[in-house]
C-alpha cells in the first residue's frame, strides 16, 4: 500500500470519528475565546469548552486576538483556509507532493482549526514568518534554532519582550504547575518520548543519528512535553518513508518508534533517496 493511500485511509477513519463528535473548529474556538477573555481583563486559563481548558503560553493569545472581532464561523473559516492554502504553498515550496495534505495529523489539526496548521507555512516563508510561527506556538522556535535561523528567533524574542507588559505572564507563571498538569492530563501524557526517561534517551539518540537537518523538524513531536497528534505536522520536511507511516498513527509510542525507524533509514546505505521527502515516491 502506498504512503498516500495509508494517509488517506487513516485520515478518513479519523474524520468519521470527528464528525460524530460535533462541528469542526473546536480548538480554534477555544483559542479565540481565551484571547477574548484576556482582552476583556479576565484570566484566559479559566476558559474551558466541553471540559477542555485553554493551556497555551501567553504569546499565543496575540496570534488569535485579531479573530476576536469576527463572527466565530468566519474566524474558524479563515484559520482553516489559511492552514490549507498555506500548507499547500509550503509543500510546493519544499518540493513535496500535494498529497501530503492528507497526512493525518494535518487533517486532524485542520478539522479542529488548531493554529498549529499555520506553523509549517510560516516557517517556510522566511524570518518574519518564522518569528510569527513562534508567537503562534512557542515550540516553533525549536526547528528555527536547530536550523540556525537565528534572525527569526531574535525577531520573535523581541516581540515577546515588547509585549511582556500587556500579556498576562504573572498569571501564567503563578499558575504554571496547574496549567501544565492540566495540559498533561488533557493530552493523556502526550505522544512524545517525555512519558519516560528511557524513551527520552532513545529519542535523543535517534535524533542524533538522524542528523541536524532532519532532526530539527522531528525534535518537537519527539521530545516536547504533552504533545498531541497534530504536532507531527511540524515534522513533515524531516520525515523518512517508514517514519512518516508510523507518525501517521494516533498512538502513544508511535512517535518514538518513528524516530528509531528514521535513524535506521538514514543509516542504511541505499535505503532511501537523501532528498526524501522533497522528491518522494509513493
Q: Which of 194-208, 250-264, 267-281 has the lowest mean pLDDT?
A: 267-281
Q: Strand pairing partners for 53?
A: 48
pLDDT (0 to 100) of residue 280: 44
| Cell matching residue 84 | 490549507
pTM: 0.92
Strand (E) positions, 108-213? none
Nearest residue to 145 via CA among 130, 165, 125, 124: 130
**pLDDT tens-digit readout, 192-245:** 999 999 999 999 999 999 999 999 999 999 999 999 999 999 999 999 999 999
pLDDT mean over 19-32: 90
Is 118 in a helix, a strand, or coil? helix
Contacts of 102 (CB under 8 A, 6+ apart): 4, 7, 8, 11
For the CA atoms of 81, 85, 87, 91, the dihedral, rounded to the nearest 10 degrees, stands at 170
pLDDT (0 to 100) of residue 22: 79
Q: Is the pLDDT of residue 1 over 90?
A: no
**pLDDT tens-digit readout, 46-102:** 999 988 999 999 999 999 999 999 999 999 999 999 999 999 999 999 999 999 999
Amino acid at each position: 500500500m502506498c504512503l498516500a493511500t495509508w494517509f488517506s485511509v487513516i485520515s478518513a477513519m479519523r474524520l468519521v470519528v470527528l464528525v460524530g463528535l460535533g462541528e469542526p473548529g473546536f480548538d480554534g474556538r477555544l483559542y479565540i475565546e481565551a484571547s477574548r477573555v484576556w482582552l476583556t481583563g479576565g484570566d484566559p486559563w479559566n476558559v474551558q469548552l466541553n471540559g477542555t481548558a485553554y493551556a497555551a503560553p501567553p504569546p499565543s493569545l496575540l496570534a488569535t486576538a485579531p479573530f476576536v472581532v469576527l463572527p466565530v464561523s468566519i474566524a474558524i473559516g479563515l484559520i482553516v483556509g489559511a492552514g490549507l492554502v498555506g500548507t499547500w504553498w509550503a509543500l510546493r515550496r519544499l518540493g513535496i507532493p500535494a498529497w501530503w495534505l492528507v497526512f493525518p495529523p494535518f487533517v486532524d489539526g485542520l478539522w479542529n482549526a488548531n493554529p498549529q496548521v499555520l506553523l509549517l507555512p510560516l516557517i517556510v516563508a522566511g524570518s518574519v514568518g518564522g518569528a510569527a510561527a513562534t508567537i503562534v506556538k512557542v515550540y516553533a522556535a525549536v526547528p528555527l534554532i536547530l536550523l540556525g535561523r537565528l534572525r527569526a528567533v531574535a525577531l520573535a524574542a523581541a516581540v515577546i519582550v515588547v509585549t511582556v507588559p500587556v500579556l498576562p505572564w504573572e498569571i501564567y507563571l503563578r499558575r504554571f504547575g496547574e496549567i501544565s498538569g492540566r495540559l498533561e492530563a488533557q493530552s493523556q501524557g502526550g505522544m512524545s518520548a517525555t512519558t519516560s526517561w528511557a524513551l527520552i534517551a532513545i529519542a535523543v539518540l535517534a535524533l542524533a543519528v538522524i542528523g541536524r537537518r532532519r532532526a530539527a523538524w522531528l525534535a518537537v513531536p519527539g521530545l516536547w512535553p504533552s504533545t498531541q497528534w497534530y504536532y507531527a505536522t511540524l515534522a513533515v520536511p524531516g520525515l523518512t518513508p517508514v517514519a512518516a507511516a508510523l507518525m501517521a498513527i494516533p498512538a502513544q509510542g508511535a512517535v518514538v518508534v518513528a524516530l528509531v525507524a528514521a535513524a535506521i533509514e538514514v543509516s542504511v546505505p541505499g535505503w532511501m533517496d537523501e532528498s526524501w521527502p522533497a522528491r518522494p515516491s509513493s
